[in-house]
Amino acid sequence: MIRISLDLMGGDFGPEVVIPGAAKALERHPDITFIMYGMKDRCEPILGKYAKLREKSVFHECDVSISMDEKPSQALRRGRYVSSMWRSIEAVKLGEADVVVSAGNTGALMAMAKFCLRTMANIERPAIAAIWPTLRGESIVLDVGATIGADSQQLLDFALMGGAMARALFEIERPTIGLLNVGVEEIKGQEDVKEAGRLIREANLESLEYSGFVEGDDIGKGTVDVVVTEGFSGNIALKAAEGTAKQIGAYLRSAMTRTLLARIGYLFAKGAFDLLREKLDPSKVNGGVFLGLNGIVIKSHGGASAEAFAAAIDVGYDMAKNGLTQKIENDLKRYHAKRQPPIGPEAA
Amino acid sequence: MIRISLDLMGGDFGPEVVIPGAAKALERHPDITFIMYGMKDRCEPILGKYAKLREKSVFHECDVSISMDEKPSQALRRGRYVSSMWRSIEAVKLGEADVVVSAGNTGALMAMAKFCLRTMANIERPAIAAIWPTLRGESIVLDVGATIGADSQQLLDFALMGGAMARALFEIERPTIGLLNVGVEEIKGQEDVKEAGRLIREANLESLEYSGFVEGDDIGKGTVDVVVTEGFSGNIALKAAEGTAKQIGAYLRSAMTRTLLARIGYLFAKGAFDLLREKLDPSKVNGGVFLGLNGIVIKSHGGASAEAFAAAIDVGYDMAKNGLTQKIENDLKRYHAKRQPPIGPEAA
């Protein structure tokens, strides 16, 4: 049984999307139980329509809902202890849930998650990991925007956490890791990235295989299982890629409707186009994973559809089932044990 | 007449691509004359095949050619004063050419260009500007990898230079400018970007309209004419977008050949696909522009085809014809005059 806690009020549509999304996820994974947090008058009527889901869920009433444009500090002040967002995270802290999924605003969710769950021992900064569709399947990219800038030690932490997530998600034993860099040689400013490369290589980690530097176009190629970078460039890479996918989609639609021949061709090739649409469908890959906290938090896109929200629940389900937090903790422990070997009897 | 200096040895294919590319560009712009630098035995046989081009060109023999994997410092040591790369840049410095185009390696080209042409007064760092196809047409993105990191004043310089380039390239009077940022509020590390926004707004520039922050997906939308960022994230955005375009191209090809119906559909819609291919054709948009130097340097992709190299020459032609360097110099002068108003008679 996997216990998933849901912030019903998160996202652009709140319970209208979260509840149907949960129902879809439950069909795929009948061993889920849900703990739900939301405003009674908005949630109960919708929940009433899903008898099976209702049966596998406990609903908790909350009077406070965090809005999508609320600043993190404001959200914390107003919503700590009482909001659906806070309480759904708290369920993980209290051991009542294995993972929390929210489509709420990223800044507020991260602020509350940090405040409530705290970062893991030896982790300075949490990261947001994205699942990126590639020509070879899927890769993990982190950090895509939890914090800006990262020193070499933090990049190594990201590598460790991303590696653990790859093992949990893709079920591969020793994922390959690359550090995102620019190709130009000998320009200043890459010191942290270069130093991180040295640190990771020297750490000689059992849990991952370090493949060196990768560039922006390696992400889509699937050159490595995990791409590590600091949050500013990671966020920009993610959004630039999303923008390009939308742009090409728009070109394609306009090209396919421009002439009669094109429209006829489209009809013949509709199956192929449907396949392509599925490949590019953002609802198939949804769910940023907050790494480095004492508990698993999954962030769904705010504008996600029910199908997409269900995909985010799937990610949370997999992460919990495969013991993501334990995997990260073990990898960190192993790394730090090697790094600072106990000396003399006092160390025991 | 526009005088263009060419490094015939640059790029993966050297004169085999550069010379045919020049011939193509000359067909489009009969008012070009070329000054060419390269190794005699490799260039002359090819040049001999293009009578018209030969007529409009002066060929200079060079014994040294910079390789694509040579480090900038090594290239400078070995190739200064003597290589085809150096001498083609020097032609601009000596006033013999209006612009230089090279497909040589970026690091070496930038190092030589900086050493030979020097940065403009009041510019600390040059930038590489890319022309980015968008849903609205084209935008300029800089810096895409000349230097890593940029403080607020340097970002303002990039905005000024990018604005001048937009006026030269798109022939619009007051281009819109956005600063690339991440959407999350209140996270630390954006100080330089925020401060740059304040500086640009307060500078109240006549030459551009500041539109505030933009995110990675705004680039492809064409939200603004010029997107300003530091070189690390700019390079990663560019490559991530290129990677995504290639990835979708691969999906599309595989979808369209998978079934008989899809192949039939493809035949009907071939015109539409050709149009799409043209939209996505990297050879249509080629040519990074080095900004902030005392002279115009255009960098073509190393793997460019003759058609793509011709496109890079087109960019150089437009930049020279529209007086890019003068536009930048004027904008800088105006900005700095406003910033430090002369006080008392000594200032004159």
pLDDT exceeds 50 at position B348: no
- Residue A70 Cα, gap to closest chain B Cα (Å): 9
For A290-344, the pLDDT digits (tens) are 999 999 999 999 989 999 999 999 999 999 999 998 989 999 888 888 876 555 5
pLDDT of residue A63: 94
Q: Are residues B280 and B298 in the same domain?
A: no
- Residue B121 Cα, gap to closest chain A Cα (Å): 22
Beta strands in A83-147 (DSSP E): 99-102, 127-134, 137-142
Q: Is residue A332 part of a domain?
A: no
Share of residues in chain B with pLDDT > 70 (%): 94
Residue of B nearest to A266 (CA): B265
Q: Is residue A336 part of a domain?
A: no
Q: Is residue B337 part of a domain?
A: no
Instruction: Report the pLDDT averaged over residues B248-257.
Output: 84
Residue B270 confidence class, pLDDT cut points 50, 70, 90: confident
Residue with the bigger pLDDT between A134 and A283: it is A134
Instruction: Report the pLDDT averaged over residues A142-169.
Output: 93
pLDDT exceeds 90 at position B251: no
pLDDT of residue B214: 94
List all residues of chain A from 188 to 207 with a beta carbon under 8 Å from chain B.
188-190
- Residue A137 Cα, gap to closest chain B Cα (Å): 11
For A67-91, the pLDDT digits (tens) are 999 999 999 999 999 999 999 999 9
C-beta pairs of B166-169 under 8 Å, 24+ apart in sequence: B166/B140, B166/B208, B166/B225, B166/B226, B167/B207, B167/B322, B167/B327, B168/B318, B168/B319, B168/B322, B168/B323, B168/B324, B168/B327, B169/B131, B169/B138, B169/B140, B169/B315, B169/B318, B169/B319, B169/B322
Please name the member of B187, B231, B243 whose beta carbon is closest to the beta carbon of A217. Answer: B243
pLDDT of residue B46: 97
For B77-87, the pLDDT digits (tens) are 999 999 999 99
Q: Does the CB of A244 have a partner CB in chain B at under 8 Å? A: yes
Residue with the bigger pLDDT between B275 and B69: it is B69
pLDDT exceeds 80 at position A277: no
Going B185 to B190 to B194 to B197, the CA torsion angle's sign is: negative
Q: Are residues A72 and A158 in the same domain?
A: no
Worst-scoring range by mean pLDDT, A147-151, A165-169, B78-82, B270-274? B270-274
Subunit contact B221:A247, Cβ cutoff 8 A? yes
Subunit contact B184:A248, Cβ cutoff 8 A? no
Contacts of A188 in chain B (CB under 8 A): 147-148
CA–CA distance, A119 with A329 (Å, rounded to integer): 11
What is the CA angle B2-B5-B8, rounded to 5? 140
pLDDT of residue A345: 54
Residue B266 confidence class, pLDDT cut points 50, 70, 90: confident
Q: Are residues A214 and A139 in the same domain?
A: yes
Beta strands in B57-187 (DSSP E): 57-61, 99-102, 127-134, 137-142, 176-180
CA–CA distance, A172 with A178 (Å, rounded to integer): 16
- Residue B245 Cα, gap to closest chain A Cα (Å): 7
- Residue A307 Cα, gap to closest chain B Cα (Å): 22
What's the structural domain count of chain A? 2
Q: Does the CB of A28 have a partner CB in chain B at under 8 Å? A: no
CA–CA distance, B220 with B237 (Å, rounded to integer): 11
Answer yes or no: are the C-beta atoms of B127 and B146 closer than 8 Å.
yes
Going A19 to A20 to A25 to A26, the CA torsion angle's sign is: positive
Q: Could you tell me which of B13, B1, B2, B3 has the C-alpha nearest to residue B309? A: B13
Instruction: Report the pLDDT averaged over residues A99-127.
Output: 95
Q: Could you tell me which of A225, A199, A46, A253 has the C-alpha nearest to residue A141? A: A225
- Residue B173 Cα, gap to closest chain A Cα (Å): 26
As for the ipTM of the complex, it is 0.86
Q: Among A194, A233, A276, which would you mutate to test the B interface (most chain B Cβ atoms within 10 Å of its Cβ)?
A: A233
Contacts of A267 in chain B (CB under 8 A): 265
- Residue A27 Cα, gap to closest chain B Cα (Å): 30
Q: What is the mean pLDDT of chain B?
A: 91
Subunit contact B187:A273, Cβ cutoff 8 A? no
Q: What are residue B208's phi and psi, to 5 degrees?
A: -155, 160
What residue type is A187 in one-letter code?
I
Q: Are residues B260 and B236 in the same domain?
A: yes
Which of B285, B306, B337 is where one domain is finished?
B285
Q: Is residue B342 part of a domain?
A: no
Residue with the bigger pLDDT between B281 and A44: it is A44
Q: Is residue B334 part of a domain?
A: no
Q: Among A68, A155, A236, A273, which would you mutate to test the B interface (most chain B Cβ atoms within 10 Å of its Cβ)?
A: A236
Q: Are residues A65 and A212 in the same domain?
A: no
Residue of A nearest to B241 (CA): A241
Q: Is residue B66 part of a domain?
A: yes
Subunit contact B256:A269, Cβ cutoff 8 A? yes
Answer yes or no: are the C-beta atoms of A233 and B239 closer than 8 Å.
no
Q: What is the mean pLDDT of chain A?
A: 91
- Run of H or E residues at B211: strand B209-214
Q: Are residues A130 and A189 in the same domain?
A: yes
Q: Does the CB of B11 have a partner CB in chain A at under 8 Å? A: no
How many residue pairs bridge chain A and chain B with CB atoms within 8 Å of each other? 246
Most trustworthy range by pLDDT among B69-73, B223-227, B239-243: B223-227
- The half-sphere exposure of B86 on its side-chain side, counting CA atoms within 13 A, is 19
Residue A40 confidence class, pLDDT cut points 50, 70, 90: very high
Contacts of B219 in chain A (CB under 8 A): 240, 243
Q: Is residue B212 part of a domain?
A: yes
pLDDT exceeds 80 at position B283: no
Instruction: Report the pLDDT averaged over residues B106-115.
Output: 95
Q: Is residue A345 part of a domain?
A: no
For A177-221, the pLDDT digits (tens) are 999 998 755 555 678 899 999 999 999 998 999 999 999 999 999
Domain extent, residue B316, equals 1-122+291-322
Contacts of A241 in chain B (CB under 8 A): 216, 240-241, 243-244
List all residues of chain B from 104 to 123 with a beta carbon under 8 Å from chain A.
106-107, 110
* Widest Cα–Cα separation across chain B: 83
Subunit contact B219:A240, Cβ cutoff 8 A? yes
pLDDT exceeds 70 at position B55: yes
Residue of A nearest to B179 (CA): A236
Q: Are residues B161 and B111 in the same domain?
A: no
DSSP assignments along A5-20, one per residue: EEETT-TTTTHHHHHH
How long a stretch of residues is chain B?
348
What is the CA angle A323-A328-A331, rounded to 5? 120
Subunit contact A186:B71, Cβ cutoff 8 A? yes
pLDDT of residue B216: 94
Please name the member of B229, B240, B266 whose beta carbon is closest to the beta carbon of A269. Answer: B266
pLDDT of residue A118: 97
List all residues of chain A from 251 to 310 with a beta carbon under 8 Å from chain B.
251-252, 255-256, 258-259, 261-262, 264-273, 275-276, 279-280
Subunit contact B243:A219, Cβ cutoff 8 A? yes
CA–CA distance, A159 with A165 (Å, rounded to integer): 10
What is the SS3 assignment for B134?
Answer: strand
Say which CATH number the domain at A1 has.
3.40.718.10
For B132-180, the pLDDT digits (tens) are 989 999 999 999 989 888 999 999 999 999 999 999 988 899 999 999 9
Subunit contact B71:A241, Cβ cutoff 8 A? no
- Residue A144 Cα, gap to closest chain B Cα (Å): 9
Q: Are residues A301 and A182 in the same domain?
A: no
Q: Are residues A251 and A206 in the same domain?
A: yes
Q: Are residues A278 and A312 in the same domain?
A: no
Q: Does the CB of A326 have a partner CB in chain B at under 8 Å? A: no
Residue A347 confidence class, pLDDT cut points 50, 70, 90: very low
Residue B39 confidence class, pLDDT cut points 50, 70, 90: very high
Subunit contact B147:A188, Cβ cutoff 8 A? yes
Q: Are residues B116 and B127 in the same domain?
A: no
Q: Are residues B134 and B278 in the same domain?
A: yes
Going B84 to B86 to B92 to B98, the CA torsion angle's sign is: positive
